[in-house]
Amino acid sequence: MSKDVLVVKDLNMHYETLSGDVSAVKNVSFTVKEGESFGLVGESGCGKTSVAMSLLQLQADNAKISSGSIKLDGLEMVGMSESELREVRWDGISIVFQGAMNAWNPVIKVGEQIREAIREHYPDNTKVENTEKIASLFKMVGLDSSIMDRFPHELSGGMKQRAVIALALSCDPKLVIADEPTTALDVVIQDQILKEIKKVQELLGLSLIYISHDIAVIAEMTDKMAVMYAGSIVEKGPTSEIFANPQHSYTQSLLASTPSVVGDKVKLNSLEGEPPSLINQIDGCSFAPRCPNRTTTCHPELDMELVEVGPEHFVDICSANRN
Amino acid sequence: MLEYIIRRTFQMTIVFFLFLIFSYLLFNAIPGNAFSSLLLNPNLPPDAYQRVLEIYGLDKPLFERTQMYIVNFFKGDFGYSYKYFPKTPIELIAERLPRTLMLFSIVNIVAFYTGFFIGKVLAWRRGSKAETWITVTSVFSYTVFYPWFALMMLWVFGYKLGWLPIGKFLFPEKWYDAPFDSDVVFTSMIKFTVVVSVIQFIAYLVTRGIESLSLRRNLRFGSLLAIFIGSYFYWNNGEALIQKPYASDIAYHMILPVMVVTVVAFAGTALLTRTTMMEVLKEDYILTARAKGISQKRIRDRHAARTALLPVVTSFIFTIVTIIDGSVLTEQIFSWPGMGQLLLQSVLEEDIPVAMATFSFVGVFALIAHLLADVSYSYLDPRIRIKSQG
Ligand SMILES: Nc1ncnc2c1ncn2[C@@H]1O[C@H](COP(=O)(O)OP(=O)(O)OP(=O)(O)O)[C@@H](O)[C@H]1O
Ligand SMILES: [Mg+2]
């Protein structure tokens, strides 16, 4: 049994805004094991990026982690000082941001920006060592090593994205978070980048958290997954298990709204309604107002809680009780 | 790049040519001339005035004079001063220039660095009480009526407190038995400043390539220390030792003008830096830099301030030009006998050759500053570098 790299327990995070607190992360718990690829899926605004930012303690100034714990390799990260965090960042957890195209400072050479990260965490490396390291990273993600001396604006979107992946790997992190790393790219490049990430992940035995709103991508990329809705995880478990046997109504709707390329033509099922505003306190099942298969055995009034329905397969109590 | 500079130089020559013609015509549009007062002198023979005009060529028609002036100008002949006859404008400028250069180069460097530093700290400390107060102060000093402010400072520091000298650039009584001219001292002060900056710059360039950040910092600190020790020995040995008391006398006189002009000039840079930097801080690459675990100071200086520098440098180079014009005012208020005073006096006395020469000097300076702004901009922003090369 491989060990746990990241253990998140009952994480709560909210943004303080003028119109009230936005609860973006509610009682989120999950575990990522060594060498495992973990998917986080959910529609836009459900709090995926908020989870990722909390993991790095890089949340916006108005964000507050009110309770919960984040343990990286057994080390508690909530409440760490800035200097302790600086050591954990990139060396422990690195991230490919959602808008990764803008991740490069326009006036500094790409290689230099990677070098800077390595230098911070491996101050004793020589210049040559670092150059070799960057060149090998570039090779791994399919870039020529001459890209090092280029400025970001001289690269295409796809190249920038590959370079961002190289950057994320530069300090041999224990965990890499990829937050919708392919959103700004065209489909062909998207596919290439996904393959690249998958390849690198398997090659290096990386622990990876892959965030996406596209459940098909999650299926391709991950071993385990969690489905998020309105700030909470409503279902989690092994990816194959969830695809074979989705329990939560929201997961079922997500799966039904994804076209399958092979197989027969089916009518796509799209969800009615809007996700609830996160400013208001939600009692009971947050998905109930939109739930397409509510039955009399549903208990939307029960406080949300994950219960085990299969091996390592958890689902919200409301849907779990239904069958 | 070279091609671009050549093209720009060509354009600048044309602009300068037009500038010369128009300024010459404008100076001649002032009613009367430098010798009008001769007419009022009853002791002179009536044709004396005519004779003087003939000698200086002022009896010729304006068109012909303009033509002659321009041709001679490009031959390097700027004529003679009407006022200080045997002296040429070049001699006058050569005497005044070091004084202005010394004062204003120091003012510029100090103002830019304080402005840039304060601006970036303001943006970084967004929302703190200190930020609010310093911003308000900067807006005040940016908008204050400069002559009033300068006179107030003179009054406070020179008269009320008596800490600093009022006006002049030296105590004449100290210089009675000086073995040399003040220019000599000025020149060696400028040389010293230039050498120090060059050494500092080279130290920066050399250490740039060093991978270890702590070693880099220590070496830079070491170079600074070396410069301090070196300066100490320089000013306590040989020629410089003799000049030292005189140089420090000049430095003492410079404190107040440097302070006043800096207070007025830094604010523009500070406010602009603050605004651009606040924009930059919202960028994703700042978040990436933070995620990389880089130190706050390095994010501020290397990522945020470096990118925010672009518009700041440009606007600063343009203000350098206005500071030269502003030297007329400053030098008048602080009785600093530099280029600004020379320009003002020569215009008032209609000493056209001198006025023209100083004026064209300022013009050339402005043109070069603009070229410098463009070149430095393309150096600072790699996205522009490509375009101007192609
Ligand atoms: N700085 C902030 N201040 C206030 N509210 C915020 C802030 N950042 C995010 N939010 C809110 O928190 C909620 C979760 O946002 P988050 O960015 O985590 O969503 P997401 O799942 O990553 O969405 P997407 O798929 O569009 O990236 C949203 O409702 C958003 O409006
Ligand atoms: Mg997001």
How far apart, in Å, do the first and last CA atoms of chain A sit?
A: 32
Q: Given pLDDT bands bounded at 50, 70 and 90, which one contains residue A49?
A: very high
Centroid of ligand 1 to alpha carbon of B355 (angstroms): 65
Beta strands in chain A (DSSP E): 4-17, 20-33, 37-41, 63-72, 75-76, 93-96, 175-179, 207-212, 224-229, 232-238, 306-310, 313-316
- Domains assigned to chain A: 4-222 (3.40.50.300), 231-323 (no CATH)
Contact state of B383 with A102 under an 8 Å Cβ cutoff: no
Q: Is A81 on the interface with B (CB under 8 A)?
A: no
CB A293 less than 6 A from any atom of ligand 1? no
What share of chain A has pLDDT > 90, as a percent? 40
At residue B387, does pLDDT exceed 60? no
In this complex, the residue of B213, B302, B386 whose CB is nearest that of residue A123 is B213
Q: Given pLDDT bands bounded at 50, 70 and 90, which one contains residue A111?
A: very high
Q: pLDDT tens for residues A136-148?
A: 999 988 899 999 9
- Searching chain B, which residue's CA lies closest to the CA of residue A89? B293
Q: Which residues of A touch B209 (CB under 8 A)?
A: 127
Alpha carbons B260 and B347: distance in angstroms, whole number: 26
Q: pLDDT tens for residues B13-22?
A: 899 989 888 8
Q: Is B132 on the interface with A (CB under 8 A)?
A: no
Mean pLDDT confidence for B367-382? 80
CB A157 less than 6 A from any atom of ligand 1? no
Would you tell me the crossing angle of helices B2-29 and B352-380 to the nearest 10 degrees? Answer: 150
Contact state of A106 with B289 under an 8 Å Cβ cutoff: no
**Residue A222: closest CA among A214, A233, A231:** A214
Q: Is A112 on the interface with B (CB under 8 A)?
A: no
CB A233 less than 6 A from any atom of ligand 1? no
Mean pLDDT confidence for B171-181? 76
Q: Given pLDDT bands bounded at 50, 70 and 90, which one contains residue A1?
A: low
- Domains assigned to chain B: 92-339 (1.10.3720)
Contact A13, A50 (CB under 8 A): yes
**Mean predicted lDDT score pLDDT of chain A:** 86
Q: Look up the pTM and report it.
A: 0.81
What share of chain A has pLDDT > 70, as a percent? 93
Q: Is A107 on the interface with B (CB under 8 A)?
A: yes
* Buried/exposed B78-92: b ≥16 CB within 10 Å, e otherwise: bbbbbeeeeebbbeb
Q: Which of B59-63, B171-175, B225-229 has the highest mean pLDDT?
A: B225-229
Q: Is A122 on the interface with B (CB under 8 A)?
A: no
Contact state of A121 with B211 under an 8 Å Cβ cutoff: no
Alpha carbons B76 and B71: distance in angstroms, whole number: 9
> Any idea which ligand is nearest the CA of A97?
2
Mean pLDDT confidence for B105-125? 88
**From the candidates B211, B282, B302, B303, which should be mutated to test the interface with A, based on the most A CB atoms within 10 A?**
B211
Centroid of ligand 1 to alpha carbon of A9 (angstroms): 20
**From the candidates A57, A82, A105, A165, which should be mutated to test the interface with B, based on the most B CB atoms within 10 A?**
A105
The encoded tokens of residue A172 equal: 């041999």
Q: Which residues of A touch B307 (CB under 8 A)?
A: 105-107
Mean pLDDT confidence for B273-278? 91
- Searching chain A, which residue's CA lies closest to the CA of residue B292? A90
- Searching chain A, which residue's CA lies closest to the CA of residue B293? A86
At residue A37, does pLDDT exceed 90? yes
Q: Whose C-alpha lies nearest to ligand 1, atom 9?
A: A50
Gap from A275 CA to chain B (nearest CA, Å): 27
Q: pLDDT tens for residues B283-338?
A: 889 999 999 999 888 999 989 988 888 888 878 777 777 666 677 888 888 888 88
Q: Is A124 on the interface with B (CB under 8 A)?
A: yes
* Phi, psi (deg, nearest 5) at residue A269: -100, 110
Mean pLDDT confidence for B255-273? 87
A6-15, A55-64, A77-86, A314-323: which range is least confident on average?
A314-323
CA atoms within 13 Å, Cβ hemisphere of B128: 9
CB A45 less than 6 A from any atom of ligand 1? yes
Alpha carbons A3 and A16: distance in angstroms, whole number: 36
Please name every residue paired with A69 in a beta bridge, in sequence order, or none if there are none: A9
**Residue B290: closest CA among A149, A51, A53:** A53
Contact state of A95 with B291 under an 8 Å Cβ cutoff: yes
Which of A13, A14, A15 is the best mutation target for the ligand 1 pocket, counting ligand atoms within 8 Å of the beta carbon and taking the most? A15
Contacts of residue A34, Cβ cutoff 8 Å, sequence gap at least 6: A2, A3, A4, A5, A205, A207
Gap from A183 CA to chain B (nearest CA, Å): 15
**Mean predicted lDDT score pLDDT of chain B:** 83
State chain A's maximal CA–CA distance in angstroms.
68
Q: Given pLDDT bands bounded at 50, 70 and 90, which one contains residue A164?
A: very high
Give the neighbor-by-neighbor strand order of the sheet with A306-310.
A93-96, A175-179, A207-212, A37-41, A224-229, A232-238, A313-316, A306-310
At residue B389, does pLDDT exceed 50? no
Contact B216, B207 (CB under 8 A): yes
In this complex, the residue of B211, B291, B294 whose CB is nearest that of residue A130 is B211
In this complex, the residue of A107, A126, A154 whose CB is nearest that of residue B307 is A107
Q: pLDDT tens for residues A278-293?
A: 887 777 788 877 877 7
Lookup result for tokens 């006036």:
A107
At residue A259, does pLDDT exceed 50? yes
Q: Which residues of B touch A155 (CB under 8 A)?
A: none
Q: pLDDT tens for residues A64-83?
A: 999 999 999 989 999 889 88
Q: Whose C-alpha lies nearest to ligand 1, atom 25?
A: A44
> Any idea which ligand is nearest the CA of A59?
1
How many other C-beta atoms lie within 10 A of the C-beta of residue B226? 12
Alpha carbons A57 and B22: distance in angstroms, whole number: 64
